[in-house]
Amino acid sequence: MRYRITHATRYRYPATVHGSLNELRLKPRATPSQRLYSFQIDVVPQASYLAGYIDAYGNPASILGIQEAHREWSVTTVSEVGRVVVEAELPFDPPLPLIEARERLRGDCRPATLEARSFSQASPLLPELPDLLQHVGLTVDPGQGVEALGLQLSRFIFDEFDYRPGQTEVSTPLSVVVAKRVGVCQDFAHLAIACSRTLGIPARYVSGYLETIPPPGRPRLVGADATHAWFALYDPIRGWLEFDPTNATVPDQRYVTLAWGRDYGDVAPIRGVVRGSGAKHTLTVSVDVQRVEEAGP
């Protein structure tokens, strides 16, 4: 499956600002199941400097600076991404129970496991919450495997929490989400991650895009797509396994990965500072995920 993704973001300020500095994570990363064929970025007004780098989690990132005075600025990226099917080798052994998976993670010093353990701890947006599972109302069988845990979390959140845009924001504490039982994909991914870490299972936040298909008889609306978020759990035998609690499903070829990290703060598409009165800015985002024909041989 091949997609052309257009992601347009515009900031408007109430008064002139005299410069801005931003960090971007808008370039899809390459993975065993994902290939980046092309990537273009357009900034208005023209960037004074734009430098790319790879962050601590292997995500492509950029530093963007605009030094001239401006009342608004925009960045538009166009990515062409191919999703490929990777045939995973299923282990002959039965899944490790969670209690055994935790023990193996503690004693395994392989680089992949050491990296995964960094996703076991509390993070800036996901501090430790005592008795989280009890507050959520979730009972977990310690004899089940990591994959079963991911599926259970996805189904539980899908069934017990309401998807309501506008009820939460980036700064909303997870405890509020649990109390109100509402949120969006970001909140649901955070909740699953926090529950998994409580059980000693490494979990990471994944940001990206999801192809949306209109109902029968309805036209496809250009720009009506959005960024999406899901989570991944680390299995000592099978590696990282992804789950989408917003839709109670396992991500497939319709999912395009942008970046991953400990929580949303590590993978925010754009964050930055301005010199001037930019606190009450207006933000407009348009995302279009369009399936394109595969190139012939």
Exposed e or buried b per residue across 204-226, where buried means at least 16 C-beta atoms within 10 angstroms of its C-beta:
bbbbbbbbeeeeeeeeeeeeebb
CATH number where 121 lies: 3.10.620.30
Establish if 259 belongs to a structural domain. Answer: no
What's the pLDDT tens digit per position in 105-141?
Answer: 988 888 889 999 999 999 999 999 889 999 999 999 9
For residues 240 and 150, membership in a common domain is answered with: yes
Q: What total of structural domains would you count in the chain?
A: 2
What's the pLDDT tens digit per position in 136-178?
Answer: 999 999 999 999 999 999 999 999 999 999 999 988 999 999 9
Establish if 12 belongs to a structural domain. Answer: yes
For residues 181 and 276, membership in a common domain is answered with: no
Place of tokens 């680089």: 111
For residues 274 and 220, membership in a common domain is answered with: no
Q: Is the pLDDT of residue 40 over 70?
A: yes
What is the pTM (predicted TM-score) of this model?
0.93
Residue 165: is it exposed, middle or buried by C-beta count within 10 angstroms (0-12/13-18/19+)?
exposed
Instruction: Tell which wins on pLDDT, 221 or 229.
Output: 229
Three-state SS for 293?
coil
| Spatial contact of 290 and 3, defined as CB atoms under 8 Å apart | yes
Give the chain's largest Cα–Cα span.
63
Establish if 31 belongs to a structural domain. Answer: yes
